[in-house]
Amino acid sequence: MSIDDVYAHIDAGFGAALEELAYLVGIAGVSASPTEDLALCAQAVQHSVCGSGLRTHLIEGFGPPAVYGECIVDPGRPTVLIYGHYDVQPAETSAHWQGDPFEPTIRDGRMYGRGTSDNKGQHLAQLWALRATLAAHGELPVNVKVLIEGEEEIGSPHLAELVRENRHLLAADLAITSDGPVHRSGMPQLVLGTRGQLGVELCTRGANRDAHAGSLGGLLPDAAQQLTQALATLWKPSGEIAVAGFFDDVRPPTPAESANLAGLPLDLKDHFSDYDITELPSPEGRDYYERLMLRPTMTITGLTSGYTGPGMKTVISSSARAHLDMRLVPGQHPDEIFRLLQVHLAQHAPMVGLTRLSSIPPSRTALDNPYVAILAGAVAQAIGVIPFVVPSLGSSLPNYVFTDILGIPSILVPYANPDQNNHAPNENFELSRFKDGMRICATILEHVGSHTVERSEGNVRLEQERVE
């Protein structure tokens, strides 16, 4: 059996795959404002999973229904769990969209529409890889499980509970997620982790309503002033986070991780010119990737108080709010960081109220995990390019449910183009990368399937059986 036979079936079915993607994109499925479209999208995705040769059912009771499918061919083979999401970001039709975001169009070698790349196109590429493999060989080379949820775009609030309650059903040896773009350079990449996230709101309140700044200024408390003073205590003049204990549990990068980052291409001037930034963040720029992937951050993402319309309105603000986004790295946990922030504000700004808005723990799979080399070889065979191996994304995904709850390695294999415009107007997916995704996934299954797996007392050992 040859992988080329699988590629031939991918080529033959590509037109049908585009039609199926267009159909799925046409079902909105916005999780931020759920309507019946979200349930319709789950049903449509379930139909796609069933059409890929898997037994399937909906897992309900954990927010919108999650689609589950499986095909168990041999318990001695590795089991791959494929994760994706069918929900999408809001997409109000505006002058920025070239067409209706939920009426997909193809132009200039791309399909445009909300969800084309994030994430319907990427998990559909995986499903078509399964179909092509079955058409070419009659069976899959590995055991496959699929989990496609409907709340990723709002932080997957029910996913951890779903995975805990269905731990046996979802048991696997490796989790693969295809979400996000390839490397900025256009090169393929394997991503071994994600930073965690903690979102909070800080709030101050003064009088029961805004008051005249001339009549009562200096007498009534100024909520805006109180909030900005509180925010100023969170950072040192150098910009370093000043919350005591914030960095205590941060794991420094290993020598292997540092060497890995040093090998990634870097053009800071080109990158920051997109944002009209001329002063680079560091003279030599070599710590760019370490800052992005391996260090925690704290960012003010929103700040509101008083009047900022045309002209002047001389009032003392009665309330002020700020939102903070913290990105966390292995060793840190959102619960502990929230506690440290509570302690800090109690000491430095006791008038500030603190509310937790969102949280995701960080996740990381080791560079020397045997599946990393297996997947890298598969990508190289599928598209003729050796992928970069990246320790972590700067952003956050719920990968921890696989590494921490299921206790398995989790690797991201993104297919989308760097300029996919996910979460923005004119989201798109290059058709060539859609097909590359199918080839990559099919080849990954072949390479992983060339190994047997022994599981005993929590230990897993891979042994290569055959090589294509």
In a domain, 276, yes or no: no
Q: What is the CATH number of the domain that holds 342?
A: 3.30.70.360
305 lies in the same domain as 232: yes
Reported as a pLDDT band with limits 50, 70 and 90, residue 221 is confident
Q: Which of 342, 360, 378 is the last residue of a domain?
A: 360
Residue range(s) defining the domain that contains residue 13? 3-194+362-464
Q: Is residue 341 part of a domain?
A: yes
State residue 207's pLDDT score: 76
58 and 202 in a single domain? The answer is no
User: pLDDT (tens digit, 9 = 90+) per residue, 114-165?
Assistant: 999 999 999 999 999 999 999 999 999 999 999 999 999 998 999 999 999 9
61: CATH: 3.40.630.10
Secondary-structure percent of the chain, ordered helix, strand, coil, rounded to 5: 35, 25, 40
- State the Cα torsion 458-196-45-49 to the nearest 10°: -20
| Beta carbons of 67 and 146 less than 8 angstroms apart | yes
Question: 228-262: per-residue pLDDT in tens?
Answer: 999 999 999 999 999 999 999 999 988 999 888 98
**Whether residues 32 and 82 fall in one domain:** yes
pLDDT, residue 269, reads 72
Where is average pLDDT lowest: 286-290, 308-312, 375-379, 430-434? 286-290
Do both 146 and 183 map to the same domain? yes
Instruction: Give me the pLDDT at residue 285, please.
Output: 57
Q: What confidence score (pLDDT) does residue 467 get?
A: 42
Number of separate domains in the chain? 2
3-class SS at 8? helix
Contact between 359 and 199 under an 8 Å Cβ cutoff? The reply is yes
pLDDT given for residue 215 in this prediction: 75
Based on the domain organization, do 188 and 201 belong to the same domain? no
**Within this chain, do residues 169 and 206 fall inside the same structural domain, yes or no?**
no
Of 341, 360, 379, the residue at which a domain comes to its end is: 360
> Over 60: is that where the pLDDT of 284 sits?
no
Statement to judge: residues 190 and 208 lie in one domain: no
Across 196-291, where does the E strand assignment appear? Answer: 196-205, 211-212
Rounded to an integer, the average pLDDT of 318-334 is 96
Helix 121-137 and helix 3-12: axis angle, to 10°? 120
Question: Could you say which of 360, 381, 412 is where a domain stops?
Answer: 360
Is 445:132 a contact under the CB 8 Å cutoff?
Answer: no
Query: Same domain for 351 and 402?
Result: no
**Predicted confidence (pLDDT) per residue in 400-422, tens digit:** 999 999 999 999 999 999 999 99
Residue 121 sits in the same domain as residue 93: yes
Q: Are residues 320 and 209 in the same domain?
A: yes
For residue 4, the tally of other CB atoms under 10 A from its CB is 9
In a domain, 255, yes or no: no
Q: Could you tell me if 415 and 434 are in contact, meaning their C-beta atoms sit under 8 angstroms apart?
A: yes
Given a cut of 70, whether residue 280 has pLDDT beyond it is no
Do 170 and 24 fall into the same domain? Answer: yes
Q: DSSP E strands: which ranges in 206-307?
A: 211-212, 297-305
- What is the average pLDDT value for the chain, to the nearest integer? 93
Residue 265 inside a domain? The answer is no
State the pLDDT at residue 468.
42
In the chain, what percentage of residues exceed pLDDT 70?
96
Domain-located, residue 52: yes
380 in a structural domain: yes
Asked if the model's pLDDT at residue 74 lies above 70, the reply is: yes
> Looking at the structure, do residues 32 and 160 belong to the same domain, yes or no?
yes
Q: Does the residue 272 lie in any domain?
A: no
Question: Nearest Cα to 422, choosing from 156, 101, 127, 155?
Answer: 101
Assign 457 a pLDDT band (cuts: 50, 70, 90): low
Does residue 274 lie in a domain region?
A: no
Q: How far from 47 is each of 40, 52, 59, 68, 152, CA to CA, in Å?
A: 11, 9, 14, 11, 20
